[in-house]
Amino acid sequence: MRELNPDYQQFIKVIRRERPDRPVLFEHGIEWPLMFEALGQDAIDNDNPPWGWLINTCQAFARLGYDVCPLPIHWFFNFHFVPPQKRHGESVSQNHDAFINSMQDIRDYKWPEPAACDFGVMDKVAAATPQGMKWILYAPSGIFESLVDLFGFENLCVFLYEEPELVKAAAQEVGERTLAYIERGIHHEAVCGFFISDDMGYKTSTMVSPQVLREFILPWHKVFVEVAHRAERFAILHACGCVNAIMEDIIEDCGFDAKHSFEDVILPPEEAYKKYGDRITILGGLDNDFLARRSPDAIRQRIRNLLETTTCRGYALGSGNSLTANMPRENLKILWESRNDDLPPLASSSNKLS
């Protein structure tokens, strides 16, 4: 696949719900086998220099036709909120490795310190980032996700009922450190926005009540967005599952500029755009199952329908979640090459923004 010249201003237009000069792509994650296939012999050792994998990430995104690259630099700093012994696997229960059961556990936990993160590494990565590309700063794991990791989901639900002050104290620790992290990284000249992943829903509803999210979680998101906006950067929320009950909070109260992660069985991107696209940018939405299992003709037709529905105004093409190595390469090639498609005429769209 040929290298394309990135232009982050095209993505900024999408965030502002303006019409870009061409279709724009967005992914919050691409699995390593796909990135190495794109880079070929141009890939460098992920660990030499130690930030080599960050350089590979930026260059692979550019090679595949993206204008911006979500950069999970917090992984480089090991800046996250997980139990001291976190097990890994393709399927791990959200109740495993629970750690916090008391205020003493909160005091004993070795919380990551933003001041210990040497953001000077961003200058080194910026020097190798393709011209015209900018980064989206990944925030560490979302507030709700971190609480689930630290408490275990079932325990978290019990403590929300029996000891809400314990949950509030843990959320305070996570929130303050995440805020300080964003404040330190958001101003870098290579950063054009920030991205936080906080999966708060499952197939039919939010994982806990909307009232709980409004009390413990969403106020922190609002503060993060305010920090980004003061720095004249945008803010993207990735939230898996059904979050319909808090979409008004996400849009109106928190003030996020864009929403990512959609599934056809919950809210297809076409419906999300028609319902919310005049107030928040819709990112991605090509269901992962659809991308993995449908024919190239079906992929091509749906992409065209999405472009015509949105006229690319306030919408960027991409998967419903992230691109995985098990997806057919022919289907992915159609997605990536849609960047070169002609913009659909405004007259062909019934979207509310035209």
**25 falls within a domain:** yes
**2 falls within a domain:** no
Question: 């024919």: which residue's tokens?
Answer: 295
Burial status of residue 230 (CB atoms within 10 A of its CB: 0-12, 13-18, 19 or more):
exposed
Number of domains composing the chain: 1
Task: Give the three-state DSSP class for 28.
Answer: coil
> Does the N-terminal peptide bond of residue 84 adopt cis geometry, omega within 30 degrees of 0?
no
Chain centre distance of CA 252? 19
pLDDT at residue number 83: 78
Task: Give the three-state DSSP class for 282.
Answer: strand
pTM of the model: 0.93
**229 falls within a domain:** yes
For residue 319, give the amino acid letter: S
**335 falls within a domain:** yes
Q: Domain holding 137: CATH number? A: 3.20.20.210
pLDDT at residue number 172: 98
Helix residue spans in the chain (DSSP H): 8-15, 32-39, 52-63, 73-76, 103-108, 121-127, 143-151, 153-162, 164-185, 210-212, 218-230, 247-248, 269-276, 288-293, 296-310, 329-337
Q: Which domain holds residue 248?
A: 8-348
pLDDT at residue number 155: 94
**340 falls within a domain:** yes
pLDDT at residue number 93: 63
For residue 305, give the amino acid letter: N
**3 falls within a domain:** no
Phi/psi of residue 344, each to 5°?
-70, 150
Rounded to 10 deg, the angle between the 32-39 and 52-63 helix axes is 70
DSSP 338: G
**81 falls within a domain:** yes
- Along the chain (354 residues), what's the average pLDDT of each consecutive run of 10 residues? 78 97 97 97 96 97 97 92 68 70 95 93 96 95 94 95 97 97 96 97 96 98 98 98 98 98 96 97 96 97 96 96 97 96 71 45
Contacts with 305 (C-beta within 8 Å, 6 or more apart), sequence order: 270
For residue 83, give the amino acid letter: P
Dihedral sign computed on CA atoms, order 88, 322, 129, 8: negative
Q: Could you tell me which residues are beta bridge partners of residue 196?
A: 237
**279 falls within a domain:** yes
pLDDT at residue number 141: 82
pLDDT at residue number 95: 65
